[in-house]
Amino acid sequence: MNEASADLKKNNVFTAYRVKALLVLSVIILCLMCLIFGNLFAKNQSDISFTVTFSGIKILELLFRKGSFERYDNWGNLITVKYPMIICYGTAALFFLIVAVLAIYIIRYTAGKRKNEKLWSNLAAWSAITASLLTVVFYVYMLFCKITVYNYYGEEKYLYNIFEIKAIFLVIAMLLFMVGIIELKFKIETVTTVKRFLPIYGFMVIPLILILVFNFYPVLLQTVLSFKDFILSDGVWGSKWVGFKQFKLIFTDNEMLMVIGRTLYISVLRLIVGILPPLILSICLYDLKSARLRSIFQNIVYIPHFFSWVVVYAITYSLLSPEGLVNSLFKTSVDYMVSEKYFMPIVIISAVWKELGWGTILYLAALSGIDTALFEAAKIDGASPMQRIWNITLPGIKNMIIFLTIMSIGNILKGAGGEQLLLFYSAPTKDQALVIDTWLVWYGMKKLEYSLGAAMSFFQSAIGMIMVLTCNYISKKTCDVGIW
């Protein structure tokens, strides 16, 4: 019995071992395929009169032609273009590097278990990781490579101006790194676990791809864009690197500073009205005697939160436009919606109208955690309602108040409500509505200031992240409430 189970276990281990080998080897071969058949470099149409993409195999071929490449253009003229040898040598080196890694892994896995298993494993893993790092270095080197190339027109261009260096290098590096990690971290036992969880990994594939494409990749792009000077015809990857120029502009240009200042101003206004009124309302709701009445009121005050800003704008319009309620009541014809004087009050009040009820939901949750016996005791002791609020209710939800305040301070650069401002502004009030979010639309998008816009949102996100993390930390330390 015992022998049989041991035998079974050994058998299992052996298949797991093979699974791991198969996994690792196939990833390395995938790398090699990427390098050979993937489009490593693309050439812009604007530089020569034809587009051409280079797969790895073509590059390797170029190595034997001293980097020269002949091609007929659209008009039938023969064009000879010489490419910098650094690309050819580098790619060839990369090719041999991956082949070497592959060889190491094949040697490691062919004979099954070896005596100095640990040493082999480490060697294999670190060779893959080194190869991955070298790939990244090569990629970055090419990005910043100062070799000037004379193209067909005889212009001088930097390497990255002529070639669009594809991100496939990063994919290769990632895959190689994965190989190393699999080798190091995947214990043989994990392989069996992984096998058991295979359907679960299947569940993750589509969601993860979507997250990587629509959440993660924009972050990468934002970082790249904010250090470049974006020109539409050159594309994101072909535009010039300019270092911190965009950030310098943000912090020195008066107009940009004004935009940031106005963002802070509107955010602070919103923060003030976003904290106190919901607090008062939730205390009132909580102290209502009739539970039925409370739930009716609660459900009513939540409703506006679910309206879109467009609808809120429409409703505001129906009350304040020249033909609206207010003007007919007072027999006037002031167009409140486009007046500079009333713009901020309208924006703030309509925001309060929309979010007041919803703001109570967390306070009410915190309030429901207070021990009701305290209130009974206070009543018997003859405490007045005000004393009760002051001594029981407020201390009971103090943590939640602090938490919410801290979190909205953390979000201060994003809290100006760009969507609402985009709807409510009009020509006379456009200046007042110019905050970071609206700036991104009006100037960043429409005037193609992609780089400055990316730098702006990078700044916004970075500050937001730092503030939220610190605030979360503080709030966890002081009042034991955090986001996670």
Partner 1 sequence: MTAKVSERNYSIIITFICAVVALLCLYPLVYTVLVSFCDPSEINASYFLPIPKQFTVQAYAQVLTAGNYIVKAIGVSVFRTVIGTVTSVLFCSLLAYAVSRQNLPGRGVVIKIILFCILFSGGLIPTYVVIDSLHLTDNIWVYIVPNIMNVWNVIIIKQFFEGLPKEIEEAANIDGANEWTIFCSVIIPMSKPVIAAISLFTMVGQWNSWFDAFLYISNAHSELWPLQYYIQISFSNLNQINQGNLDKLEEILNIGTINDMSLKMALTVIGCLPVLIVYPFFQKYFTKGVYVGSVKG
Could you say which of 35, 348, 444, 471 contacts partner 1 (CB under 8 A)?
444
Minimum CB–partner distance for residue 461 and partner 1 (Å): 5
Which residues inside 265-284 make contact with partner 1, applying CB under 8 A?
280-281, 283-284
Q: Which stretch binds partner 1 (CB under 8 A): 30-38, 41-49, 156-164, 211-219?
A: 211-219
The footprint of partner 1 on residues 450-469 (CB under 8 A) is: 450, 453-454, 456-458, 460-462, 464-465, 468-469
Provide, rounded to whole angstroms, the least separation between the CB of residue 464 and partner 1.
8
Backbone φ and ψ of 331, nearest 5°: 55, 40
In order of 81, 329, 395, 424, the CA distances from 419 in angstroms are 51, 30, 35, 9
Q: Amino acid letter at 363?
A: Y
Residues in contact with partner 1, shown as a per-residue x/- string from 373 to 392 under the rule CB under 8 A: ---------xxxxx------
Biggest alpha carbon–alpha carbon distance for the chain? 101
**288 in contact with partner 1 (CB under 8 A):** yes
Compute the least distance from the CB of residue 374 to partner 1, in Å.
16
Antiparallel, parallel or unpaired: β 52-55 and 39-43: antiparallel
Coil, strand, or helix at residue 367? helix
* 292 lies in the site for partner 1, by CB under 8 A: no
DSSP per position, 374-391: HHHHHHHTT--HHHHIII
Binding mask 155-184 for partner 1 (x = CB under 8 A): ------------------------------
Cβ atoms of 152 and 47 within 8 Å: the answer is yes
In angstroms, the CA 392 to CA 369 distance is 12
Work out the angle at residue 396's Cα, subtended by the Cα atoms of residues 269 and 469, and round it to the nearest 5 degrees.
55
Q: Which residues of 441-480 are buried (b: 16+ CB within 10 A; e: fewer)?
A: ebbbeeeebbbbbbbbbbbbeeebeebbeebbeebeeeee
Q: Does 153 contact partner 1 by CB under 8 A?
A: no
Instruction: Point out which span in 61-69, 147-155, 215-223, 339-347 binds partner 1 (CB under 8 A).
Output: 215-223
List the one residue out of 149, 175, 147, 141 whose CA is nearest residue 38.
175
Q: Distance of alpha carbon 87 from its chain centroid, rounded?
A: 32
Least distance CB 275 / partner 1 (angstroms): 12
Does residue number 319 form part of the binding site for partner 1 (CB under 8 A)? Answer: yes
Size of the site for partner 1 (CB under 8 A): 109
Instruction: Pick the stretch among 20-28, 55-63, 71-79, 421-429 that binds partner 1 (CB under 8 A).
Output: 421-429
Of 220-259, binders to partner 1 (CB under 8 A) are 220-222, 225, 236
Task: Report how far residue 257's alpha carbon sits from residue 464's, in angstroms, rounded to the nearest whole number.
Answer: 17
Cα Rg for the chain, rounded, in angstroms?
32
| 96 vs 197, beta carbon nearer partner 1 | 197
What is the contact mask toward partner 1 in residues 334 to 373, using x (rule: CB under 8 A)?
---xx--------------x--xxx--xx--x--------
Site for partner 1 in 293-312 (CB under 8 A): 293-294, 296-297, 299-304, 306-311
